[in-house]
Chains A and B, each alone.
Chain A
Amino acid sequence: MAMTLITKQNRKIVKDALWENNPITLQVLGICSALAVTVQLKTALVMSIALTFVVAMSNVVISSLRNLIPSKIRIIVELSVISTLVILADQVLKAYMYDVSKQLSVFVGLIITNCIVMGRAEAFAMANPPGKSFWDGLGNGLGYSAVLITVAIAREILGSGKIFGFQIVPQAFYDAGYVNNGVMVLAPGAFFLLGIIIWAQRALSPQLSSKDATK
C-alpha cells in the first residue's frame, strides 16, 4: 500500500519542491522564521519538523474541504485550519520539549503567517486532491527544512564551534588563536549565509535565476 502511494508523479512533486522550486530560495516564502531559528541546529530541526507537519496536514485538510469552502471567505477558513494545527504543534512542543519551545518563543506561533503554509494552501491544495496535496506539502516542508538545516549547521559551527551542542572545532584551534565568528550568532550572519546559499544554488543551475520574482 505504502509503495503504491509513492508514484513517480508524487516523487516529482517532492523533488520539484526540494530543488527546482524550493520555497525559500526560489518562491521567496517563509524566510522570516528560517532565519530566526537557525542559530542552533536543534531549534532549526524542531522548527523544520513542526512546519513540515503543519504544511502537509493543512494541505490535506484544506484540499479535502476545497469543494465546500466558499471562495469569498477561503482565507479565513484556511487561517483557522492552519492555526488549529499550529496550536496542536505548539502544545506538543510545550509538553515534551519545554526548553526548545521556550527558545523558539514566538516563532512557533508565527508558522500561522508563514507564507509557505498559506501559499501552498492557496496555490496547490485548493486545486488538487488530498493525496497529491499531501506530497506537495511534504515536499515543500522538506525543501524548507533542507535550507534551514544547512544554514543552521553553518551558523552553529562558525558561530560557536559546535553541532547539537557538542564541540566540533578542537580546542587546539582555539589555543592556536582561532576565534568563533560572532557575526554568525547575530542576525546579519543569517542574511549573509542565506544570500550565499541562494548564490550557490543559482550558480549551479543558472536556469533557475530566470524564475526569480524579486529581480
Chain B
Amino acid sequence: MEHYLSLAVKSMFVENILLAYFLGMCSFLACSKKMETAIGLGLAVTFVLTITTPANWAINHYLLDKGALAWISPALAKVDLSFLSFIAFIAVIATMVQIVELSIDRISPKLYTALGIFLPLIAVNCSILGGSLFMAERKYNFLESVVFGFGAGAGWALAIIAMSAIRSKLKYSNIPESLQGLGITMIITGLMAMGFMCFAGIQL
C-alpha cells in the first residue's frame, strides 16, 4: 500500500509529467488562458490517462513484450513484438478516447458538454502517449500502472489549473512588449517547475 501511495505522490509532484518531463506542453500553453477550460482539460486528461495506461499495460504485457505471446502457445515464446509498441499504443489511445467520448455522451450528457471539445484533442496530447511509454520503459505492474496513470494525470491537471490562475492575474501586470504571451508563460512555467522541485526527496 505504502509503495503505491509513494508512487502516486511521486508521479503527481516530484516527477510531474509536465514540469519535469515537459509532456503535454502544447495544450498546456494553448489552453491555460481561462480557468474553466483548464479545469475541463485537466479532468479529461486525468480520466483518459487513468484508463489508457492500464489498457496499454495489458496490450504490452499480453501481446508485445518479449515472450509475452507464450500464453497462446509455447512456440511463440521467443517472439518479441516490442518494436510495434508505438503504433499499438497510439491506436489504443485513439480508440479509447473515442470510446470514452461515446460513453460519456451516453451516460452523462452534462459532463460531455463540459469536456466535449477537449476529448478529441487529447488523442494527440503527448502526456497520454508519454504515460504509456514510461509505463513500458519502467516495467510497472498492473496496479502500479493504474496508480501512475492517475498520478500523472492529476499532476498535469494541477499544473494547468495553477497556470491558468497565474495567467488570469498576469493580465494586469506590466510586461515588456516582446515578452508578452508565450515568452512570459515559459518563464512562469520555469518558476513553477522550480517550485515543484521542492517536493523532491519526499518519501512516504
Closest chain-B Cβ to A7's Cβ sits at a distance in Å of 32
Residue ID in chain B nearest A192 by CB atoms: B190
Q: B182, A214: Cβ atoms under 8 Å?
A: yes
Q: List CB contacts (< 8 Å) of A1-54 with chain B.
A: 25, 28-36
Q: B184's contact among A34, A105, A106, A195, by CB below 8 Å, is which?
A: A195
Task: Pick from B17-25, B43-51, B59-67, B100-108 the stretch touching chain A.
Answer: B17-25
Q: B126's contact among A25, A114, A195, A199, by CB below 8 Å, is which?
A: A114
Interface size on B, residues (CB 8 A): 48
Q: A209, B124: Cβ atoms under 8 Å?
A: no
Residues on the A chain within 8 Å of B25, using CB: 31-32, 35
Given contacts A31-B29, A86-B86, contact A212 B23 (CB under 8 A): no
Is there a chain B Cβ closer than 8 Å to A138's Cβ? no
Closest chain-B Cβ to A180's Cβ sits at a distance in Å of 17
Residue ID in chain B nearest A114 by CB atoms: B126
Q: List CB contacts (< 8 Å) of B177-197 with chain A.
A: 177-187, 189-191, 193-194, 197
Residues on the B chain within 8 Å of A110, using CB: 23, 126, 129-130, 133
Given contacts A113-B129, A199-B183, contact A28 B123 (CB under 8 A): no
Residues on the B chain within 8 Å of A114, using CB: 126
Is there a chain A Cβ closer than 8 Å to B79's Cβ? no
Q: A87, B126: Cβ atoms under 8 Å?
A: no
Q: A203, B178: Cβ atoms under 8 Å?
A: yes
Docked CA distance A95–B111 (Å): 47
Q: A202, B178: Cβ atoms under 8 Å?
A: yes
Is there a chain B Cβ closer than 8 Å to A152's Cβ? no
Residues on the A chain within 8 Å of B72, using CB: none
Task: Pick from A74-82, A126-134, A162-170 the stretch touching chain B.
Answer: A74-82
Is there a chain A Cβ closer than 8 Å to B37's Cβ? no
Q: A106, B30: Cβ atoms under 8 Å?
A: no
Residues on the A chain within 8 Å of B181, using CB: 209, 212, 214-215
Q: A32, B186: Cβ atoms under 8 Å?
A: no
Residues on the A chain within 8 Å of B177, using CB: 202, 206, 209
Is there a chain B Cβ closer than 8 Å to A148's Cβ? no
Q: A83, B190: Cβ atoms under 8 Å?
A: no
Residue ID in chain A nearest B176 by CB atoms: A199
Using a CB–CB cutoff of 8 Å, the interface residues on chain A facing chain B are 25, 28-36, 75-76, 79-80, 83-84, 86-87, 90-91, 105-106, 109-110, 112-115, 118, 183, 186-192, 194-196, 198-199, 202-203, 206, 209, 212-215
Using a CB–CB cutoff of 8 Å, the interface residues on chain B facing chain A are 19-26, 29-30, 33, 83-87, 89-91, 94, 123-126, 128-130, 133-134, 137, 176-187, 189-191, 193-194, 197
